[in-house]
Structure 1
Amino acid sequence: MTHEPQYIWQHPSWPNFRKDSEALIKPLGECRFKQGSLLAQMRELGMEVRQQARAEVLIEEALKTSEIEGEKLDPKAVRSSVARRLGLPTAGLPEIRDRHADGVVEILLDATRNHDKPLTAERLFGWHAALFPTGYSGLQKIRVAAWRDDLDGPMQVVSGPVGREKVHYEAPPAKRVPREMERFLHWWEESSQKEDGLLRAAVAHLWFVAIHPFDDGNGRIARALTEMALAQDEALAIRYYSLSSQIMADSASYYSVLERTNKGDGEITGWLLWFLDCMSRAILRSNELLTNVLVKARFWQRHVQTELNDRQRKVINRLLEAGPDGFVGGMTNRKYAGMTHVSRATAQRELADLVNKGILRQNQQRGRNVSYSLVWEDSVHL
């Protein structure tokens, strides 16, 4: 008695995916237009601003690609890791070393900086080792830098309490993984000059997740591969929008469309349409992030000749990160002293100095409730 195929890889046509090209023409064109507009706007900005934009997008991508999998990295550790790796100023940043944060940042940088280098099994193993520097996923020891072996049973994506799990997907048996990955890597190299770059990024993401070649980390590596494919498409090592940030915002629909597609027969138009829509919204969403970068850059350009010590720069950067709304209650003597580890008297002198230099303004409160806000320029829009 033969069983009907339940998963995409069980169909005889696997991995020959099918799509409705006509249905994709309009959304693909709209996405291309948004992509081209953003890249044109960024080319008009100075190198320093583009570098800062790159850092902010990389920080966002590292945080969100981990959060999608339920892992919350320390934002300060990620910011510190990105600053070190991009050679950006670290004044005011805490010196935090976190191997997990470093690993995610290293993978994303390798995928984009070295997008023109071959994708090999060894390179993927290096990414996997960077994701799991201790050899453990949580409390569970896993195979690192090697394809999964399924010794504990088939690779399944499940949800729900122990004993009542719901199986959303079951990946191909481990014995098939080396051959499946060999075929995927061959397609990756062959397709770079033959297929539309955006659709290729979507197919790569889906295909890798369908194989699920590692014990853990498959989603994060799939999204790194997507970043690499998009970098190849744009011929740029710098990313100006975070796809993972938008996927995180749409995580329910992300998992839903993946499950439907992976339980299908190889017709993937629905997934491609979802991916293009997600990417379009990611590009639009990036305007907010990049506008903030531009505002910060112009702020420091205005004060490039202003003499400030490291403590003052640290506080200013924190206020810039908080945005125009600033800290609740504004910057106070007590907050300044706590952030910079100085006496109240020193804090008061340095705050007064910032007011005299036109960087801070005193709010309406008087006496012990006095607080300060950053002097912002007019809003900037991309």
Structure 2
Amino acid sequence: MQDWRMLYQTPALADDDQRVLGELDTMRDNLRYQIAEPHRRTGQLRRTLIAHAIQGSNSIEGYQVSLDDAAAAVAGDEPVETNPQTWEVITGYRDALTYVQQLARSREFTWQHMLINALHFMMLRHDLSKWPGRFRPGDIYIDEAHTGRRVYTGPDADNVPPLISELIDWLADGEPETPLLVRASMAHLNLAKIHPWRDGNGRMSRCLHTLVLARDGVLAPEYSSIEEWLGVGRNTYAYYDALGEVGGPTWQPDNDTSKWIRFCLSAHHQQAQLVRQRLDQAAHLWELLDTWVRRNGLPERVVSALHLAATGGRVRRTVYQRDENLTDDQATRDLRALVRADMLEQHGETRGRFYLTSPELRELAAPALRPKEIIDPYRRRGQAPATAVVTVSGGLVVAASSPGGRLNDVRAAGVRRREVAGVRLRQCRHAGRGACVYQQRQHVGGDQARDPDLAKLTVNWPIADAAGSHRVAAPHAGSSAARSVSTARVTARSRGNGGRNCQRGACDGDEMDRMVVIGPVVVARLGPGTRRP
């Protein structure tokens, strides 16, 4: 048996890990049977899941794209908002994921160097200066953007080819008894820490994770991927933490990888819950829309357009026409009928025209789209949500909890992790939405954060996501001015009343001096001159 000690080692699984794996096996089997019966709503969901994966994985690297434009990339259409440079990145990643989908069914598949280099080339072919499809020629470092602190140094360039060879051999026939989700997670970790290319290492590591799952054949890769989950702001920072804590600041393959496996299994479990919820919602919504269509004497095919709009998507004539195999005239006539029926609202002109949901359609769909809580499988059922406190610049202490919650832990840039159990919140003011704001410096269990230039703050429970977007906001305590935050970066972008594009309390501004996240709430005052990382 080959010794794989050049790589980070697969850990022994704890009882909790085995339990979560068992739950995941059951969920994956159920999903497989749920999507086995062909239905138009399943095809639409599949396209949406791929779009979420593209959006999530690229947002981690700072390439922001709306879900509508990501869906346009999947459909082969042109973007509405995305700039040309970012669009090249997005379509490159789309092509790599499309190849992964094809490799899932390839009978002649083999693991080899040129396979992963080919995937890398697809992602970065738009910029030859980054050596797409070729290993880096020299050293590589990762520095924290807002502090300049060096957080990782990759192995020497001369060690990259043998390390990749070791990984390829392991993928081919190493540890075949290891559970699939654990193998995919270890492949992800090892490629991320080898860091073999000049750029694109994170995206390639996540893509490899998905490819390992795809080769299993139980579920199509879009139903197995955790790229969407990793791209949500709170999860992105937890992802960075897990890679850094387990992998170490340099290549350290003897480190214990148990926490990384636990992190990935939790991500898979929560993403599977989300996919199952979307399938259930799609079935319920389709039934509601089908009933309305029949009652109003419209052709049954328009349900697909209504379904897309009701779930927050942009309906384009070209996509609707292609999905339903219609002529130009038929598609145009259908969409105009839905506008006349007050179910869709038309936006734009000629080639840029698209359709969005109307208030009437939103009201009709609401019963089917009520979200359910996504639960961390490692948290005991019935356990109260965690609460966190951090002291930042100016002595402002902030907390996030459900009312009566307990203090747990906070992770912040430049602030060491603290775990303070069993301390209840005191002296809460402006406690709406579960937020407690302290005006004076408080000692919490004898420990507090002392970083005056806090630029990022993440917490270990769900942060509300408004209407599926990456931006949520709430009025600052004692003020009617909305303060906004992008959960993709977990940083605020408004000062005073200077926000732009304000709608329903959400603002997108230029300057950052505060952060407000709702559901639970985090409020943080940033140091002067802090900019988006």
Matching residue's letter, 1:28: L
Q: 1:160 to 1:298 in 2, by over 3 A?
A: same
Q: 1:71 to 1:307 in 2, by over 3 A?
A: same
Unmatched runs of 5 consecutive residues or more in structure 1: 1-11, 85-89, 327-345, 362-370
Q: C-alpha deviations, 1:24-46, integer Å up to 9, x for none?
A: 32232232233233333333x43
CA contact (8 A) 2:289 2:307 kept: no
The equivalent residue for 2:137 is 149
Bigger Cα displacement from structure 2, 64-73 vs 243-252: 243-252
Give, in angstroms, the shift of residue 199 of structure 1.
0.8
Find 1:112's aligned residue among 98, 101, 126: 101
CA contact (8 A) 1:242 1:286 kept: no
Write the distance in 1 (CA, Å) between the matches of 2:75 and 2:344. 26
Give, in angstroms, the shift of residue 167 of structure 1.
1.6
Matching residue's letter, 2:21: L
Q: 1:180 to 1:246 in 2, by over 3 A?
A: same
Q: 1:285 to 1:235 in 2, by over 3 A?
A: closer
Give, in angstroms, the shift of residue 308 of structure 1.
10
Give, in angstroms, the shift of residue 155 of structure 1.
1.0
Aligned CA-pair RMSD = 3.8
CA contact (8 A) 1:112 1:227 kept: no
The equivalent residue for 2:192 is 209
Is it true that 1:49 corresponds to 2:41 in the alignment?
Answer: yes
- Which structure is higher in RCO with an 8 Å CA cutoff and minimum separation 6? 1
CA contact (8 A) 2:135 2:197 kept: yes
Give, in angstroms, the shift of residue 373 of structure 1.
1.4
Q: 1:184 to 1:241 in 2, by over 3 A?
A: closer
Q: What percent of counterpart residues are identical?
A: 19
Q: C-alpha deviations, 1:278-320, integer Å up to 9, x for none?
A: 111111122343344435644665548835999x997x46632
Is it true that 1:33 corresponds to 2:26 in the alignment?
Answer: yes
CA contact (8 A) 2:11 2:256 kept: yes
Write the distance in 2 (CA, Å) between the matches of 1:120 and 1:269. 27
Find 1:178's aligned residue among 161, 164, 182: 161
Matches within 5 A, 1:60-209: 60-84=52-76, 98-115=87-104, 116=106, 117-135=109-127, 141-150=129-138, 154-161=139-146, 165-191=148-174, 193-209=176-192
Unmatched runs of 5 consecutive residues or more in structure 2: 315-332, 346-357, 373-533
- Equivalent pairs counted in the alignment come to 320
Bigger Cα displacement from structure 2, 168-177 vs 241-250: 241-250
Write the distance in 1 (CA, Å) between the matches of 2:274 and 2:286. 19
The equivalent residue for 1:329 is none
Q: 1:188 to 1:351 in 2, by over 3 A?
A: closer
CA contact (8 A) 2:185 2:264 kept: yes
Bigger Cα displacement from structure 2, 298-307 vs 233-242: 298-307
Structure 2 SS opposite 1:168:
strand
For normalisation by structure 1, the TM-score amounts to 0.71
Is it true that 1:274 corresponds to 2:267 in the alignment?
Answer: no
CA contact (8 A) 1:132 1:144 kept: yes
Find 2:283's aligned residue among 294, 297, 305: 294
Find 1:259's aligned residue among 244, 254, 262: 244
Give, in angstroms, the shift of residue 216 of structure 1.
0.8
Structure 1 SS opposite 2:237:
helix
Matching residue's letter, 1:29: G
CA contact (8 A) 1:74 1:101 kept: no
Bigger Cα displacement from structure 2, 229-238 vs 297-306: 297-306
- Structure number with higher helix proportion: 1
The equivalent residue for 2:421 is none
Structure 2 SS opposite 1:14:
coil
